Chains A and B, each alone.
Chain A
């Protein structure tokens, strides 16, 4: 074989991608190609319009075979996108895929610079670094690790329900963990859903029952995940099962205990009804609660608070299901994949103090109104105000806690539509004059605009303008005893005062208050808005940066039920693809301890964020579990005697790269 390389060491093939004009528009790719061609060891230096295309990959594979290339460097986009592509091209040519180094001259150079000469210079520096480094690369193998076939779904709203059912229907064992006493989530609160006005309970409760009855689903309600260990395909999840003080396997939700409770009258705010009604210390959230098991609230139950109650509830239960001695349990389960569907928190309208929520009794949050119009709600669907009146005029204020510099900047996506829905329902139930105060009407979903049209025809009033204030300072006789909405009508062009009897605040959607804690438990990311971060907004919308952990529904960002269900299905499919493969391939960029060189100083042991390092007391040496190792490099950097080596980041490789940049 003739030696085409102009230097010693392995023969290197260099390829530069134009990426259309993405790279070639800013970087003089031909200059970089020529520069690389002159570097020691480079036997082939070529450019191509789209290196990632089939012909591009084929060119690389053929050159490896025909020219006997021993190393491959591709200057193109981010390795996040195409490292795998070119590793495969290398393998196709018969080269170990890790004899390859990718140079990101797009995100790191062409996209972030305008000065063409300087960007070209930078690209050349980057390319030299890679060419210097790749000589030191070693042949590596990906490790295959078996995958546990079970799936865990965390959060039992419609997203979690749908994801759990999808995975269970595919034959997988699913554990569904729900923090509240029942599954159902926000959807269980709604009377109707937009824009079809389907009965929410009618479409949700069959799915809830299906969860309960599914042979493949284990439902752990009233439970929370406290710890996640392990790695993709082999997680070990610790779940805290909070005590209900009721034996779940015995209780049938007959309500006998509730009737028998020493509190004859319900006197504690009912969380499910948004505090609009009362419940007893022993309660069932709603008739279709799943599991249909009562719960005893330790904060209000006399027996649990003082130990001095007649316990009439326990006496009334002929199944002996009540157990005041129940303790919190901690369960550890192995699963292969985890789907997070932890949902959202509704914006607390108290934060928008100019709208008087909490100050004026007739200012309601949208969720309260959802319960108020609900046939199974506190008033059986009869819209009666807190002062007992029936409203003759109702104002619905959009964007409360959305599109607002002072609270949340984002559009919550669902409020325009649910406001229209509530406008329709309120008008239907009360015959009142209904006003919608909006900034922009956002109705971009399937048949959404048609629904808006319908509302316009139904005679609902629309005022375009952000409401400045809600107060009760009457200026005219008509305003007396009513709430006054002050708003600039930006279509009419003047400031209006509109007296109403009821104000509905269309609260936006926010990340859960404990999203950051949950993020840490699952080792995933959050965006600046607090919602869980997807791996890629377009191409990996339900994946996260933690392999094997998927997200769906409003925990990822505000979305309506159809989008939530679609995402939940997608997340289930991703989880199935993972566990069905039976194994995962682990990147070989792991660290290892060279045993004979280790002095046993233990410096590395406490530093590992993945608890992959243990100290062997018999040998007095550290040892790294390469399966647990994520390749972060902390131990390799810290090992004071250089006895820990990380694949793809050995000193020679890193120093080679530095010398390449500086040469």
Chain B
């Protein structure tokens, strides 16, 4: 029997980018593979549900779970993995706070299903057929589909989580840091986000160019105007989530001359990342009268998608409820 720690990777509602991030460890992944036994990684190797069911409780040292939770199948799997693993790491924005799939919480389940199966251009479904969770096929065989829940949830809204790796996706450096902490047993307090607890401006190369008073007169979207590669992006009128976003990415987007979109989530002291930046920017707009303020704000046509791009389910807004 191998004495190496057993490690699992699992994915829920996600794009696959987090899986790529593991591969992005490059040669580093070899160190990881040498140090551990990978006992579950559906994206790379063939595993069945029964394989997981067969594992003894707590037999897995750590399970990295990415993706948000929307379906009953995802719920069952993460609950099972919670039992099997000593540590569960919530991996990436979707697992941490709902991520891009979490933006679906702006719409009710019915609105989503109706659009996808009836109203979406390109759909030809005159019978208005919707997927059923149970049905019999022509051969009278029982078919099952997972239940599509009312809302998207973050992983920690479903199971207990030990640590979080932030990012969309987490950077190789942070992943290695997390893995090494686990392997060495030098663990921070439970619930810690494994990234510096200070906002992005702290490590932003353009920090010094941020003026004291932004006095913003307009908001621009990155495809509408060129971005000066030296100056503070927020000061140029592009919505940059940096001031309200946890650091640790080393300002990757800013170095690529794009504003921070907030994927690392808030610092530990903030409950609602979007509300915080809204509150902050409200004081940074030069206009003082309602019509001028409205004009400035018209530069942010999708406030939820801008301020809550990665964290709607975990925010205080959580989701839309249709009466």
Contacts and interface: CB of A to CB of B under 8 A. Distances in A.
Q: Do A and B belong to a common assembly?
A: yes
Interface of A: 594, 596-603, 605-607, 615, 620, 634, 637-643, 651, 655
Given A598-B198, A603-B284, A642 B270 contact: yes
B149 to A, nearest CB: 24
Contacts of A642: 266-270, 276
Given A596-B198, A602-B212, A641 B243 contact: yes
Interface of B: 197-202, 207, 210-214, 242-244, 247, 266-271, 276-277, 279-280, 282-284
A600 B269 contact: no
8 contacts: A597-B197, A597-B198, A599-B202, A603-B243, A620-B207, A640-B199, A642-B276, A643-B269
Interface on chain A toward B: helix, strand, loop, or mixed SS? loop
Contacts of A597: 197-198, 267, 269
Nearest to B246: A641
A643 B197 CA distance: 10
A507 to B, nearest CB: 37
Contact of B212 (A598, A605, A637): A605
B280 to A, nearest CB: 4
Contacts of A606: 212-213, 283-284
Given A600-B207, A643-B198, 20 more contacts: A599-B198, A602-B210, A603-B243, A603-B283, A605-B213, A606-B212, A606-B213, A620-B207, A638-B279, A640-B279, A641-B243, A641-B244, A641-B266, A641-B267, A642-B267, A642-B268, A642-B269, A642-B270, A651-B269, A651-B271
Contacts of B198: 596-599, 641, 643
Contacts of B267: 597, 641-643
A634 B283 CA distance: 9
B280 A600 contact: no
Contacts of A602: 210-212
A599 B269 contact: no
Contacts of B211: 602
Contacts of B282: 638
Contacts of A641: 198-199, 243-244, 266-267, 269-270, 276
A638 B199 CA distance: 14
A637 B269 contact: no
A600 B206 CA distance: 12
A638 B213 CA distance: 13
Nearest to B213: A606
A599 B212 contact: no
Contacts of A605: 212-213
Tell me which of A607, A637, A642 has the highest count of chain B C-beta atoms within 10 A of its own C-beta. A642
By secondary structure, the B interface counts as loop
A255 to B, nearest CB: 52
Nearest to B280: A640
A600 B271 contact: no
A640 B277 contact: yes
Given A597-B197, A599-B247, A638 B207 contact: no
Contacts of B247: 599
A597 to B, nearest CB: 6
B213 A601 contact: no
B193 to A, nearest CB: 13
Contacts of A655: 271
B201 A600 contact: yes
A599 B266 CA distance: 12
A601 B210 contact: yes
A615 B213 CA distance: 12
A603 B201 CA distance: 11
Contacts of A615: 212
A522 to B, nearest CB: 23
Contact of B201 (A601, A607, A634, A638): A601
A384 B27 CA distance: 109
Contacts of A637: 279
Contacts of B202: 598-600
A599 B213 CA distance: 16
B4 to A, nearest CB: 37
A601 B199 contact: yes
Most buried by A among B268, B280, B284: B280
A599 B270 contact: no
Contacts of A620: 207
Contacts of B277: 640
A603 B267 CA distance: 16
A640 B268 CA distance: 12
A599 B201 contact: yes
A606 B242 CA distance: 18
B280 A603 contact: yes
Nearest to A622: B212
Q: Which of B200, B201, B214, B266 counts the most A-chain CB atoms under 10 A from its CB?
A: B201
B217 to A, nearest CB: 15
A82 B70 CA distance: 52
Top 8 closest pairs, chain A to chain B, by CB: A642-B269, A599-B199, A641-B199, A640-B244, A606-B213, A640-B243, A599-B202, A599-B201
A39 B234 CA distance: 47
A157 B207 CA distance: 54
Contacts of A603: 214, 243, 280, 283-284
A638 B280 contact: yes
Contacts of B243: 599, 601, 603, 640-641
Most buried by B among A607, A634, A638: A638
A606 B212 CA distance: 6
A639 B269 CA distance: 10
A594 B267 CA distance: 13
Contacts of A634: 283
Contacts of B199: 599, 601, 640-641, 643
A166 B277 CA distance: 53
B269 A607 contact: no
A640 B213 contact: no
Contacts of B280: 603, 638-640
Nearest to B244: A640
A606 to B, nearest CB: 4
A472 B263 CA distance: 83
A611 to B, nearest CB: 12
Contacts of A600: 201-202, 207
A654 to B, nearest CB: 10
Considering residues B214, B268, B283, which has the most beta carbons from chain A within 10 angstroms of its beta carbon?
A: B283
B23 to A, nearest CB: 31
Nearest to B316: A655
Contacts of A651: 269, 271
Contacts of B213: 605-606
Contacts of B207: 600, 620
A597 B199 CA distance: 8
Contacts of A599: 198-202, 243, 247
Contacts of B269: 594, 597, 641-643, 651
**Most B C-beta atoms less than 10 A away, residue of A603, A620, A642:** A603
A595 to B, nearest CB: 10
A642 B271 CA distance: 9
A643 B270 CA distance: 9
A439 B199 CA distance: 69
A607 B210 CA distance: 15
B102 to A, nearest CB: 20
